[in-house]
Amino acid sequence: MPDRRHSSRRGRILHAILVLPLAGLLVAADPYAANRERMVREQIESRGIHGAELLRVLRATPRHLFVPIASRPMAYDDHAVPIGYGATISQPYIVALMTDLLAPRKTDRVLEIGTGSGYQAAVLSQLALQVYTIEIVPELAESAQSVLSDLGYRNVSVRQGDGYKGWPEQAPFHGIMLTAAPPEVPQVLIDELANGGRLVAPVGLGWKQELVLIEKDANGRLRRRSAGEVLFVPMRSGGP
């Protein structure tokens, strides 16, 4: 008995010697790991989003690397964060809610309008086959492209352009997500939605928009429902 106790204490000490520095290294490598875990538990799971794959992806995506350096300490807070050029990275819960509504599958090709920081595209890319994303501000398109490729998200194509024009060369898409608000869902984008596909968008002018889910059935018929009120930057027109 005394021997076993002794060896188990030695085991614990050995465990501490081996594991503690390793944990320290991991924390040093990702100082925001605890913030991210808290974000998923307190802002997303607690509000009713439980899809295991989506939660896994949110736990794995380094949101702080998608915001300006000065804003990193607030990257996991329960609100949107400005990223320059009048754009914001959406509140974590809204990213989760819209992704949950879109429900991308591993075989889906997805179009996003409003690349912004690239964070929503990174989340989608881990759940879908390929993500195409359009950003109207050249500087944002460029910086999102470089963050996404530095972090190794290889199945995302970023295009600088006007989302009102869609991406005809790659259409149709199984999923389309708008992260800037048009006054009404552009017909071009409804036309680029495949049969059986889903489109999620904030719709409306001004300070009160409706989050809309449009489903196109196998026969091309549309069904539309509202998923609550949201606040997004307006989708601007890039002209003719």
Residues that bind ligand SAH (CB under 6 A): 87-90, 113-114, 116-117, 119-120, 134-137, 140, 162-164, 179-180, 233, 235-236, 238
Q: Which of 90, 117, 125, 143 is catalytic?
A: 90
Nearest distance from C-beta of residue 20 to ligand SAH, angstroms: 36
Give, for 227, the enclosing helix (H) or strand (E).
strand 222-230
Q: Which is nearer to ligand SAH, 121 or 214 (CB)?
A: 121
Give, for 38, the enclosing helix (H) or strand (E).
helix 33-39
Q: Which is nearer to ligand SAH, 111 or 214 (CB)?
A: 111
| Angle of CA points 38, 25, 43, to nearest 5° | 10
Q: Which is nearer to ligand SAH, 122 or 214 (CB)?
A: 122
Q: Which is nearer to ligand SAH, 163 or 175 (CB)?
A: 163
DSSP 125-158: HTTSSEEEEEESSHHHHHHHHHHHHHTT-TTEEE
Q: Strand, coil or helix: what is 87?
A: strand
Nearest distance from C-beta of residue 178 to ligand SAH, angstroms: 8
- The maximal CA–CA distance of the chain, rounded, in angstroms, is 84
| Residue with token string 């149709």 | 172
Q: Which is nearer to ligand SAH, 151 or 233 (CB)?
A: 233
Active site residue 157: no
Strands of the sheet containing 222-230, edge to edge, are 156-160, 130-135, 109-113, 173-178, 193-203, 209-216, 222-230
What's the CA gap between 93 and 58, in Å, rounded? Answer: 10
What's the CA gap between 97 and 107, in Å, rounded? Answer: 20
Nearest distance from C-beta of residue 215 to ligand SAH, angstroms: 21
Catalytic residues: 90
